[in-house]
Amino acid sequence: MKVRRMLPALGVATVLAALMFPLYWMVISSFTPDARLFAAPTLVPRALVLDHYRALFGGREFWTPIRNSLIVAGATTGLSVGLGALCAYALARLQFRGKTVTLAFVLAVSMFPQISIVSPLYLLLRELGLINTYPGLVLPYLTFAMPLTIWLLVGFFRQLPAELEEAALMDGAGRLRSLWEIMLPLAWPGLATTAILTFLYCWNEFLFALSFTLGPERYTVPVAIALFRGQYQVPWGEILAAAVVATAPVAAIVLVAQRRIVAGLTAGAVKG
Amino acid sequence: MASITLEHVEKVYPNGHVAVRDLNLAIRHGELLALVGPSGSGKSTVLRLIAGLERPTAGRILIDDDDITAVPPERRDLAMVFQSYALYPHKTVGENLAFGLSVRRVAAAEIRDRVQQAAVTLGIEPLLDRKPAQLSGGQRQRVALGRAIVREPRAFLLDEPLSNLDPLLRVETRTELALLHRRLGATMVHVTHDQEEAMTLGARVAVMREGRLEQVGTPLEIFQRPANVFVATFLGSPAMNVWRCNCTRRGAVTRVACAGLAFDLEGTRNPQLDQEAVLVGVRPHDISLASPGDADAVGRVEVIEPLGATTVIHVRIDRASSRAVRIVVPADRALAVDDEVAIRIRRDRVYLFDERTGMAITPP
């Protein structure tokens, strides 16, 4: 009887351990001196040093890719939520021809495998002179961020009672005014969720960032990390330290906002 | 304040559902018109058409003499009170009241004054800093009303504003609404499914059914001279008894007869009828218990519903017929289920309707 009750807990613990172990290993290794990295591995480290972090921010100027990532992810998030909110509101509330088709099309755009549009995008950006610039990353990111934003926010807006908006209209507020003063404040949890998800997506994006940047002054965090490896050696310690630095803000955001994200992802699925 | 006119207004939804058909209605300047009908009769749609939240598929809507059919709701200067109140949940009561004014760029000082004044009028002054979630149903209802009156709109549109209140509060608020209307002298359209609310509030009552306007008139006009069987049974509580009777002409008088019940139309408003059959309607208040000698029918008491001041009894006249006759009797009348009673119908209160169309048969 007791064993039977313990079994599920045991299962959960196993899965959790399997999931957490790589993270744990990453953090531990990033604090382990190079000399010990390839010695017989132990679960509990004997010495922790900050060497790798020093090298990261001293020698490699890891601040630059962090800044790049923040700018690109931030700008994409801002634009995508700002424009996406307007699009989503229109799709959720206004009556116009081809609404369903538009929504389906928006979704279809995000279905293309990224790799299939890298080359055309590259040519396009080159013609526009946007290779190795911030807009050169923000614009392609929007093609993926906007559908996500629009779909999430359409769900949120549909969920809000239509009468509130009608009340605003009767009060004399136009569409934009009622969107700004009534709908957006009420859709705030949805906007936050969408912003977080978009930010995470951009922060982690690798393929476009690798393809459309040319030098370290524009590398984003994932690209910078990938390019750490030299011809003759792979600086594992620094790579892992960088991975920790790249993961920390993501983990922090998710931990703080996890309830909101789950609520946001399932919003509109059921009422109440 | 303004008059509102609907001319040949029709609303057909894209799915083919006809919500309103060929509706003509003139709401007078400063009048409280009660729009009443069962659910699905199109009364709320009419209100939304006036508000501009729906566009008519045909016809015109005028405020005073301006055709506003194509004017969007935010520029019609009408106020609406929603059934759900639709208060802005993230704004305080004061901000809810002020929103309509700040949208219109009224000066801040004037907004404060007018919000204060409206709050005093409705007795919601102490609530101004609260959020809607912290209010009771009755308080929310007042705030919704306040949001409407603070703007001093051209007309008020009320969509079942009392239906979410408990019965006691509803009657109380009904009285306040009547007083408020008198004080403001505003044009109001009050939609309700409650015939009692419509009768007590409306200077005039418009009865709707299946998207059609069945009758418009003062409460007493409609009560005393219903245009058809639907209006007759919809207004008045308990509802009018209606029987389908056969007619036989006997000299100058027509005799009507249906299961267990037969009487001459002598003394009624239409003593002579040429139809073969007719719908006979009598309100429960117009049937009394009588001595067997001058009774129109005899039956057994089936159900007794004491209302306090009066008692409604259901009398089954003929065992074969499925319907019982509803009668209002004085409360002190001692009766028990299965008692045999004799009933008499007041001849001058007998209503006759065409058997096929249901339209009232008016005296020649």
The ipTM is: 0.84
SS3 label, residue A97:
coil
State the pLDDT at residue B124: 92
pLDDT above 50: residue A271: no
Q: Which of B190, B225, B260 is the last residue of a domain?
A: B225
Nearest to A199 by CA among A270, A253, A269, A162: A253
Residue B172 shares a structural domain with residue B320: no
Average of per-residue pLDDT across B140-165: 92
Cα(B161)–Cα(B143) distance, rounded to whole angstroms?
A: 11
**Nearest residue of A to residue B152 by CA position?**
A171
Nearest to B112 by CA among B89, B90, B94: B94
With beta carbons less than 8 A apart as the criterion, state whether B239 and B227 touch.
no
Confidence category of residue B260, pLDDT binned at 50, 70, 90: confident
Average of per-residue pLDDT across B93-117: 94
Question: In whole angstroms, what separates CA B62 from the centre of its chain?
Answer: 23
Cβ distance A170 to B84 less than 8 Å, yes or no, reads no
In A, which residues are within 8 Å of B45 by CB distance?
Answer: none
pLDDT above 50: residue A272: no
Average of per-residue pLDDT across A108-115: 83
Residue % of chain A over a pLDDT of 70: 94
Of the residues B77, B78, B95, B99, the best mutation for testing chain A's interface (the one with the most A CB atoms within 10 Å of its CB) is B99
B292-319 pLDDT, tens per residue?
Answer: 888 888 888 999 999 988 999 999 887 6
Question: In whole angstroms, what separates CA B143 from the centre of its chain?
Answer: 24
The residues of B whose Cβ lies within 8 A of any Cβ of A are 51-53, 72-75, 77-80, 82, 84, 86-90, 99-100, 103-104, 147, 151, 157
Cβ distance A172 to B77 less than 8 Å, yes or no, reads yes
The residues of A whose Cβ lies within 8 A of any Cβ of B are 161, 163-164, 166-174, 177, 181-182, 185-186
Q: Which residues contact B84 (CB under 8 A, 6 or more apart)?
A: A161, A163, B164
State the pLDDT at residue B130: 93
**Nearest CB to A167; choose among B52, B72, B86:** B86
Q: What DSSP letter does each residue of B146-189 carry, written as one string?
A: HHHHTT--SEEEEESTTTTS-HHHHHHHHHHHHHHHHHHT-EEE
Strands B155-159 and B78-81: parallel
State the pLDDT at residue B319: 63
Residue B60 shares a structural domain with residue B182: yes
State the pLDDT at residue A260: 66
**Nearest residue of A to residue B155 by CA position?**
A170
CATH of the domain at B290: 2.40.50.140
State the pLDDT at residue B364: 63
Say how many domains are in chain B.
2
Full residue range of the structural domain in which residue B95 is found? 4-225
Residue B42 shares a structural domain with residue B161: yes
pLDDT above 70: residue A52: yes
Residue % of chain A over a pLDDT of 90: 33
Residue B187 shares a structural domain with residue B281: no
**Nearest residue of A to residue B156 by CA position?**
A170
State the pLDDT at residue A25: 87
Average of per-residue pLDDT across B238-250: 88
B175-188 pLDDT, tens per residue?
Answer: 989 999 998 899 99
**Nearest CB to B51; choose among A164, A170, A173:** A170
3-state secondary structure labels for all residues of B33-59: EEEECCCCCCHHHHHHHHHCCCCCCEE
State the pLDDT at residue A94: 84
Confidence category of residue B47, pLDDT binned at 50, 70, 90: very high
Residue B255 shares a structural domain with residue B306: yes
Residue B47 shares a structural domain with residue B154: yes
Closest-CA distance, A210 to chain B, in angstroms, reads: 44
Cβ distance B86 to A166 less than 8 Å, yes or no, reads yes
Strands B58-63 and B66-67: antiparallel
Residue B219 shares a structural domain with residue B251: no
**Nearest residue of A to residue B14 by CA position?**
A95
Average of per-residue pLDDT across B185-193: 94
In B, which residues are within 8 Å of A181 by CB distance?
Answer: 99
Q: Which of B192, B225, B258 is the last residue of a domain?
A: B225
Confidence category of residue A32, pLDDT binned at 50, 70, 90: confident
Residue B53 shares a structural domain with residue B162: yes
State the pLDDT at residue B227: 94
Average of per-residue pLDDT across A174-188: 88
AA identity, residue A156: F
pLDDT above 50: residue A13: yes
pLDDT above 90: residue A102: no
Closest-CA distance, A181 to chain B, in angstroms, reads: 9
Q: How far are the Cα atoms of A86, A109, A154 from residue A99, in angstroms, in the given order?
A: 14, 16, 12
Burial of A205 (0-12, 13-18, 19+ CB in 10 A): buried
* In-domain check, residue B236: no
With beta carbons less than 8 A apart as the criterion, state whether A153 and A85 touch.
yes
State the pLDDT at residue A269: 41
State the pLDDT at residue B23: 94
Residue B120 shares a structural domain with residue B221: yes
In A, which residues are within 8 Å of B84 by CB distance?
Answer: 161, 163
**Nearest residue of A to residue B88 by CA position?**
A164
**Nearest residue of B to residue A178 by CA position?**
B103
In A, which residues are within 8 Å of B103 by CB distance?
Answer: 171-173, 177
In B, which residues are within 8 Å of A180 by CB distance?
Answer: none
State the pLDDT at residue A59: 77
Between A and B, how many CB-CB pairs are < 8 A?
60
State the pLDDT at residue B203: 92
Q: What are phi and psi of A9, to 5 degrees?
A: -60, -40
Average of per-residue pLDDT across B128-139: 90
**Nearest CB to A173; choose among B86, B90, B103:** B103
* In-domain check, residue B120: yes
More confident of the two residues A55 and A15: A15
* In-domain check, residue B233: no
Indicate left, alpha or beta for B224 from its phi (over 0: left) and psi (-120 to 50: alpha). alpha
Average of per-residue pLDDT across A34-41: 74
pTM of the predicted structure, to 2 decimals: 0.81
Residue B97 shares a structural domain with residue B184: yes
Of the residues A99, A100, A171, the best mutation for testing chain B's interface (the one with the most B CB atoms within 10 Å of its CB) is A171
Average of per-residue pLDDT across B138-158: 93
For tokens 């912290």, the residue is B134
Q: In what side-by-side order are the strands of the sheet with B241-250?
A: B261-264, B253-258, B241-250, B277-282, B351-354
CATH of the domain at B134: 3.40.50.300
* In-domain check, residue B235: no
Indicate left, alpha or beta for A52 from its phi (over 0: left) and psi (-120 to 50: alpha). alpha
Cβ distance B89 to A186 less than 8 Å, yes or no, reads yes
Q: Which of B193, B225, B257 is the last residue of a domain?
A: B225
pLDDT above 90: residue A169: yes
State the pLDDT at residue A263: 63
In B, which residues are within 8 Å of A174 by CB distance?
Answer: 74
Cα(B137)–Cα(A204) distance, rounded to whole angstroms?
A: 49
State the pLDDT at residue B314: 92
pLDDT, averaged across chain A: 85
AA identity, residue A261: I
Q: What DSSP letter does each residue of B192-252 carry, written as one string?
A: ES-HHHHHHH-SEEEEEETTEEEEEE-HHHHHHS-SBHHHHHHSSSSPPEEEEEEEEEETT
Q: Which tokens hold the place of B330?
A: 């004085």
Strands B58-63 and B241-250: unpaired
* In-domain check, residue B153: yes
Residue B24 shares a structural domain with residue B68: yes
- The percent helix, strand, coil of chain B (3-state, each to 5) is 30, 35, 35
For residue B63, the cross-strand partners are: B4, B66
Cβ distance B100 to A181 less than 8 Å, yes or no, reads no
State the pLDDT at residue B110: 94
Residue B218 shares a structural domain with residue B251: no
pLDDT above 80: residue A7: yes
Cβ distance A161 to B78 less than 8 Å, yes or no, reads no
Cβ distance B73 to A171 less than 8 Å, yes or no, reads no
Confidence category of residue B13, pLDDT binned at 50, 70, 90: very high
State the pLDDT at residue B178: 92
Average of per-residue pLDDT across A118-141: 92
* In-domain check, residue B230: no
* In-domain check, residue B234: no
In B, which residues are within 8 Å of A185 by CB distance?
Answer: 90
Report the 10 Å Cβ neighbour count for A173: 23
Cβ distance B74 to A172 less than 8 Å, yes or no, reads yes
State the pLDDT at residue A270: 41
* In-domain check, residue B232: no
In A, which residues are within 8 Å of B87 by CB distance?
Answer: 167
Closest-CA distance, A194 to chain B, in angstroms, reads: 20
